[in-house]
Amino acid sequence: MARFDAFSELFDRYADIIDHRYRPWLEQVLPQQAGRALDAGCGAGRYTTLLADRCQHVLSIDVAERLLTIARHRHPHPNVTFQQRDLRDLSVAADGRFDVVLAVAVVHHLPDPEQAVRHLASLVAPGGRLLIIDMVRPSQRWTRPRIVRYAVAEATHELARRRSLPDAATVLRLRLHSRRRSSPSCTPASACTGRPPTSQATQAGRPPARPARPPPSRPPAL
Ligand SMILES: C[S@@+](CC[C@H](N)C(=O)[O-])C[C@H]1O[C@@H](n2cnc3c(N)ncnc32)[C@H](O)[C@@H]1O
């Protein structure tokens, strides 16, 4: 069972709560119209729908079958294909190239994130766009006390923002779930075009709008 299957519904609720951190930026940077799109590590399909509204066809893949089940149920779309696959197994020979490749909070889950970015970039069609939201440069070890402190801070932040105790409880439960591993700090967003996959190519895009005050430190990745 994939790690995210152990807390798929909890993660889906949590992802709803933090959606505001990413969606405004994605809405700005995604092309209004495109051909083929890939949502790599689509989770419950939250951003697949953004792609589906703008692209002719979307391939949405994830290793977590339970999250894919939620995605198929919640976001059925005639031009989306959901598949249980490891993003590292995608290839140009088997899958072709994509005009848009999106990976939200996924790359840091792979043992070699730089290789994952290179691989995703290799799937981008000429003139296409690679959009990655993830952490850069882990800056500190996420020990248990630090995770607990962060979880409380993030829950307090969401409580102030949404005035919802259940949402704050969801943040705490997700952050402290025993199957989650510790994560280093995370930047809100970075983007690159389909240029060669070097670290220089992942030039920072505009950060997403932040309607509310952010939590006290950058959030650990999901
Ligand atoms: C933090 S979640 C983000 C999900 C979704 N992109 C979102 O923003 O709501 C990370 C996702 O990456 C998936 N994942 C991790 N490793 C993967 C891999 N090698 N190939 C495909 N998906 C992977 C996990 O199963 C999980 O659904």
What digits encode the pLDDT tens for the residues 9-58?
888 899 888 899 899 999 999 999 999 999 999 999 999 999 999 999 99
Mean predicted confidence (pLDDT) in 105-117: 93
Instruction: Choose one of 106, 117, 120 to mutate for the ligand 1 pocket test, by most ligand atoms within 8 angstroms of C-beta.
Output: 106
pLDDT over 70 at 164, yes or no: yes
Q: Provide the pLDDT confidence category of residue 59 given band limits of 50, 70 and 90.
A: very high
Q: What is residue 17's three-state secondary structure?
A: helix
Pick from 38, 183, 43, 155: which is nearest to 97 by CA? 38
Rg of the chain (C-alpha set): 17
Tell me the per-residue pLDDT of 72-87, one tens digit each, with 9 for 90 and over: 999 899 999 999 999 9
Pairwise CA distance, residues 199 & 100, whole Å: 19
Q: How far is the CA of 106 from the centre of ligand 1 (A)?
A: 5
Number of domains in the chain: 2
Same domain, 7 and 74: yes
The verdict on residue 165 lying in a domain is: yes
Mean predicted confidence (pLDDT) in 180-205: 38
Among protein residues, the one whose CA lies closest to atom 26 of ligand 1 = 43
Among protein residues, the one whose CA lies closest to atom 1 of ligand 1 = 222
Q: How far is the CA of 203 from the centre of ligand 1 (A)?
A: 22
DSSP H or E run through 26: helix 8-29
Same domain, 18 and 46: yes
Q: What is the pLDDT of residue 140?
A: 64
In percent, how much of the chain has pLDDT > 70? 78
Query: Which ranges in 40-184 belong to alpha helices (H)?
Result: 48-54, 65-74, 92-95, 113-122, 144-162, 165-175
Domain span including residue 169: 139-184
Same domain, 84 and 180: no
Bridge partners (DSSP) listed for residue 103: 132
Pairwise CA distance, residues 189 & 176, whole Å: 24
pLDDT over 50 at 195, yes or no: no
Same domain, 88 and 55: yes
Q: What is the pLDDT of residue 211?
A: 40
DSSP state of 207: P
> Phi/psi class of residue 204: alpha, beta or left (left: φ > 0; alpha: ψ in -120 to 50)?
beta
Same domain, 36 and 101: yes
Q: How far is the CA of 41 from the centre of ligand 1 (A)?
A: 4
- Enumerate residues lining ligand 1, CB below 6 A: 2, 4, 15, 41-43, 46-47, 61-64, 67, 86-88, 104-106, 109-110, 222
